[in-house]
Amino acid sequence: MLGFFVRRIMVMIPTLLAISAITFVIIQLPPGDYLTTLVTELESRGEAIDQSRLQFLRETYGLDKPMIEQYFVWLGGMLTGDYGYSFEYNRPVADVVGDRMLLTIVVSFATIIFIWVVSFPIGIYSATHQYSLGDYGLTFLGFLGLATPNFLLALVLLYFANVMFGTSIGGLMDPVYMDAPWSWGKMVSVLEHLWIPVIVIGTSGTAGMIRRLRANLLDELHKQYVVTARAKGLSPARVLWKYPLRMAINPFISDIGNLLPQIVSGAAVVSIVLSLPTTGPMLLDALRSQDMYLAGSFLMFLALLTVVGVFLSDVALAMLDPRIRLEGGANR
């Protein structure tokens, strides 16, 4: 196991270096830079900008240096905890991301709990009651959840929440608490608004997880060891919980690699529709304005979470399922 850990960590390092280089190059591919975008925006308003100040800003932010030099400056800063300076927000990247991180984690963590709590019992029921009326009904709802666009469901729930409960449209809290310090009233307001993004973001994930769990569990229930356990007189519940379910929850464990970056990034499209102050819309704005340090640092953070999440899911799968080996090939 120790050798497995060491090998995986040694693979993670060059992987992250390659991702950092590709990320920085892609961000730099569009012509111009943030200052070019800023000048274009000012000219569209009929405003002018002093060229001497423009050159000063270009030298201050290091935008006059070659791309390879900018990359190594950015990479060296990240290794020392300096993620750069956001041009658009005029603040350090760490401060910009930190403002939205808490609410993003709250929304995403609640969504993950919603997906697991809803999909787990429904998937088990559908597999153990195959082709029953309940299975057909839940299957129909699952396909409906997969087919419904998140932004459309968001608009419907916004209208429903406003008409039925009087909840203010958009955001994660009432406008009066927007810039106020945390208090009991602010927490209650967040909880009142939280159920809409949780249902919207979690609907497609829940439907997909139900289908995967049902398919995996059905595959396990038809295997020879389950037939043998039933023939020996074990109760259906014991037969289900002892081995088949344990093997069938692999999709839940393997999803850890996707869950960690999702907790931080959130659903960008839904966040825009619902006016959520999360990190997803911030990343899109940074990419549009070519705020390279903000966009690059955030994308690298997501890459780090993905690599770590895949590592954790591999270890958990190897411990959960004895059929998954840490070493390549079969040991004889």
Q: Which domain holds residue 139?
A: 99-281
Looking at the chain, list the stretches that DSSP marks H as alpha helix, in order from N- to C-terminal side.
2-28, 34-44, 51-60, 67-79, 93-128, 133-147, 150-165, 184-221, 224-231, 236-242, 244-248, 250-254, 256-265, 268-273, 279-288, 292-320
Label residue 133 by pLDDT band (50, 70, 90): very high
What per-residue confidence (pLDDT) applies to 332?
Answer: 44
Looking at residue 50, what is its pLDDT?
Answer: 72
What pLDDT sits at residue 77?
82
Packing angle of the helix pair 93-128, 292-320 (nearest 10 deg): 30
Report how far residue 104's alpha carbon sits from residue 263's, in angstroms, rounded to the nearest whole number. 7
* Mean of pLDDT values over 40-57: 74
**Residues pairing with 198 in the sheet:** none
Residue 328 has pLDDT above 60, yes or no: no
Of 255, 150, 273, 277, give the one whose Cα is nearest residue 201.
Answer: 150
Choice between 122 and 260, residue whose per-residue pLDDT is larger: 122
Instruction: Say how far residue 76 (Cα) sits from the centre of its chain.
Output: 26
Q: Which of 235-244, 254-263, 265-274 has the highest mean pLDDT?
A: 235-244
Total count of domains within the chain: 1
More confident residue, 81 or 213: 213
Closest among 151, 154, 197, 156 to 173, alpha carbons compared: 197
- Picking from 24, 37, 31, 2, the residue whose alpha carbon sits closest to that of residue 68 is 24
Contact status, residue 307 vs residue 31, Cβ threshold 8 Å: no
Tokens 């997501």 belong to residue: 302
Residue 207 in domain:
yes
CB 204 within 8 A of CB 187: no
Residue 85's beta-bridge partner residues?
Answer: 92
Render pLDDT for 13-32 as a digit per residue (tens, 0 to 9). Answer: 899 999 999 988 888 887 77
In a domain, 115, yes or no: yes
Return the structure tokens found at 58. 């270009």
CATH number of the CATH domain containing 275: 1.10.3720.10
Alpha-carbon span 269 to 153, nearest angstrom: 12
> Is there a domain that residue 139 lies in?
yes
User: Is residue 274, in this structure, part of any structural domain at all?
Assistant: yes
Residue 158: inside a domain, yes or no? yes
Amino acid making up residue 192: E
Mean pLDDT, the chain, as a whole number? 80
Report in angstroms the alpha-carbon separations of 301 from 19, 83, 298.
11, 10, 5
pLDDT digits (tens, 9 = 90+) for 284-321: 888 887 787 888 888 888 888 888 888 888 887 777 76
Q: With 70 as the cut, is the pLDDT of residue 265 above it?
A: no
Higher pLDDT, 323 or 54: 54
Residue 55 backbone phi and psi in degrees, to 5: -70, -40
Task: Determine, yes or no, domain membership for 82.
Answer: no
**30 lies in a domain?**
no
Structure tokens at 152: 């459309």
Tell whether 40 is covered by a domain. no
